[in-house]
Amino acid sequence: MSNRSRPDHFTLKARKMGYPARSVFKLEEIQKKWSLIKRGKPVLDVGAAPGSWTLFALRTLGKGACVSAVDLKPLTIKAPPGTILRFRQGDVFTPESADFLAEGGLYGCVLSDVAPSTSGNRLVDARKSWNLVMRVIDLAEEHLTPGGNLVVKIFQGGDENEVKARIKALFREVKTFKPKAVRSESMEIYIIGKGFMGLNQENQL
Ligand SMILES: C[S@@+](CC[C@H](N)C(=O)[O-])C[C@H]1O[C@@H](n2cnc3c(N)ncnc32)[C@H](O)[C@@H]1O
């Protein structure tokens, strides 16, 4: 068994807590530091399968929570009693998904752990990740409520500074963070935007 396929401490702990993936601990750390998910505010989770982040958001928000999630693949989780999980299986950037997103928002927080299928070529993969993240920021601009928060995953090695600059122009605060649960060999980092300034006029409710 390779190091990658052997369940590590985070994987075992995730299973014990009912989460399908170890990635939950990345969001848990981000939430502890920046409280991006706020009670009473709906959440959008982009690239949600198998569903650890979605389940974490539902549990964090508690009774009355509403999380909208989109992924090409199915979720393997069940919403806790008293919470609402809206799920669409498909590409998040299609017009059909746009309708689904609009029906669940405006959102207090947009989470994106979305990742491209990887080729093994770091530059190519970083470029694909950059493209996805820029499109997720477009979605956040359209569907976040003023004051809302954003977290996006990006593969380092491309133009992550450009992503950071764009988030800086839209949010009051920007942070870059590599959670402990990110594997040491991984090129992923998370960029956080706090306090959406609501530049999109339609968002000025
Ligand atoms: C690392 S996984 C997300 C893990 C998830 N946060 C969790 O904790 O269970 C990245 C996901 O992004 C999804 N994805 C990639 N491109 C997408 C797209 N265009 N639309 C929707 N989902 C996409 C993939 O299918 C994959 O499931």
- The residue count of the chain comes to 205
Best mutation site among 72, 110, 117, 136 for ligand 1, i.e. most ligand atoms within 8 A of its Cβ? Answer: 72
Our separate counts of H helices and E strands in the chain read: 6, 7
Tens-digit pLDDT profile for residues 19-63: 999 999 999 999 999 999 999 999 999 999 999 999 999 999 999
Say what the alpha-carbon torsion angle 154, 8, 110, 156 is, to the nearest 10 degrees: -10
Mapping DSSP onto H, E and C, the string for 88-104 reads EECCCCCHHHHHHHHHH
**Are residues 191 and 175 in contact, defined by beta-carbon separation less than 8 angstroms?**
yes
Whether the predicted pLDDT of 138 surpasses 90: yes
Residues 80-102, mean pLDDT to the nearest whole number? 97
Whether the predicted pLDDT of 3 surpasses 80: no
Q: Which of 59, 60, 80, 58 is nearest to 69 (CA)?
A: 58
Kindly list the structural domains of the chain, giving each domain's residue range(s) and its CATH number in brackets, ordered by start: 27-203 (3.40.50.150)
Tens-digit pLDDT profile for residues 163-193: 999 999 999 999 999 999 888 888 999 999 9
Alpha-carbon gap, residue 6 to 24, rounded angstroms:
18
Best mutation site among 13, 88, 114, 130 for ligand 1, i.e. most ligand atoms within 8 A of its Cβ? Answer: 114
Whether the predicted pLDDT of 199 surpasses 70: no
The pLDDT assigned to 36 comes to 98
Contacts of 9 (CB under 8 A, 6+ apart): none
Tens-digit pLDDT profile for residues 95-126: 999 999 999 989 999 999 999 999 989 999 99
Residue 1 pLDDT class (50, 70, 90 cuts): very low
Which protein residues are within 6 Å of ligand 1, measured from CB? 21, 23-24, 47-53, 70-73, 91-93, 113-115
Q: Which of 33, 88, 34, 29 is nearest to 53 (CA)?
A: 29
Q: Which of 149, 138, 132 is nearest to 200 (CA)?
A: 138
List the catalytic residue out of 153, 175, 180, 194.
153
DSSP letter string over 39-76?
Answer: TTS-EEEES-TT-HHHHHHHHHH-TT-EEEEEESS---
pTM: 0.94
Q: Which of 122, 133, 149, 145 is nearest to 46 (CA)?
A: 133
